[in-house]
Amino acid sequence: MASSDQDVTLLSSWASPFSMRAKLALLLKGIEHEDLPQDLGNKSKILLESNPVHKKVPVLIHKGKPIAESAIIVHYIDEVWPGTSPLLPKDAFLRAEHRFWTDFIDKKLLDCLMRFMRGDAKNEEFIENCELLEGAFTKLGNEEEGPFFGGVRMSFLDVMLAPYAVWIPGIAGVMGLKPASQEQCPRLHNFFQAVLAHPAAKLALPTVEALKEFLVARSAVYRGK
């Protein structure tokens, strides 16, 4: 298990958008942690023991106790370390909105991207999902305050969406996805630019180039062959 003087360990995988969320939350809050990258093709004992049900990353291990599922991990991080960089809104209705759009990102956006990579979804469907996210910005984010849902600072929903700032250009570069233009989705475009410039996100997210190489190498897997 984690070395004795480390309270917090993250079982990670650098290319996973779910893993990036957990990493980003830890960095935003300045939480010292041990990062243990995992080989998903040859799963380690610590991964299988700490997430026996799903056997997936990310897993956060805090004082020996494992927490799995990226949204649950980020909720946990926010609850245990509330002082720095609070992520979930205080208002119950806004919290519900953040959770709704997180679920949308997983169920609709990511699902669409995965199907696109397999040749099972059209670019138009992806653009429609981006337009819906643009609508979320209009509803939840104050443009005058800043590019994020949280205004000038990242909030829970920003952390959940941030990985797509590299995943979308990655898939565009390798598989011909046409991202939504600045004209089509200005707030979304500004959000992704702001993520790429954000100091914590620069550490939590891989470069687009690295992701492109990864996608090329794994393209057969994604095409479902």
Residue selected from 65, 138, 144, 183 as contacting another protein according to rule CB under 8 A: 65
Q: What angle do CA 11, 62, 164 make, to 5 degrees?
A: 45
Q: Locate 87 and state its tokens.
A: 């992520």
Contact at 8 Å (CB) between 11 and 50? yes
Query: Hey, what amino acid is at 220?
Result: A
Q: Which one of the spans 16-24, 87-95, 197-205, 212-220 is the region binding another protein (CB under 8 A)?
A: 87-95
Considering only 29, 33, 75, 187, the residue that binds another protein (CB under 8 A) is: 75
Binding mask 114-153 for another protein (x = CB under 8 A): ------------------x---------------------
151 neighbors 86 (Cβ within 8 angstroms): no
Using CB under 8 A, pick the residue from 11, 25, 59, 67 that binds another protein: 67
Stretches 33-41, 71-79, 153-161, 212-220: which one binds another protein (CB under 8 A)?
71-79
Residue 121 beta carbon to another protein: minimum distance, rounded to whole angstroms: 17
Output the CA–CA distances (angstroms, integers) from residue 86 to 96, 185, 217, in the order listed.
16, 27, 37
CB of 24 vs another protein, minimal distance in Å: 18
CB nearer to another protein: pick between 75 and 198 = 75
Q: Between 83 and 199, name the residue whose CB sits nearer to another protein.
A: 83
- Return the residue of 3, 41, 45, 93 that touches another protein, per CB under 8 A: 93
Helix (H, G, I), strand (E, B) or coil at 8: strand
* Nearest Cα residue to 53 out of 64, 39, 63, 67: 67
The answer to whether residues 145 and 194 touch, using CB atoms and an 8 Å cutoff, is no
Within 10 angstroms of residue 199's Cβ, the number of other Cβ atoms is 9
Q: Is the dihedral of CA 39, 42, 47, 51 positive or negative?
A: positive
Is 196 among the residues that bind another protein (CB under 8 A)?
no
Interacting residue ranges for another protein, rule: CB under 8 A: 53, 62, 65, 67-69, 72-73, 75-76, 79-80, 92-93, 95-96, 99-100, 103-104, 132
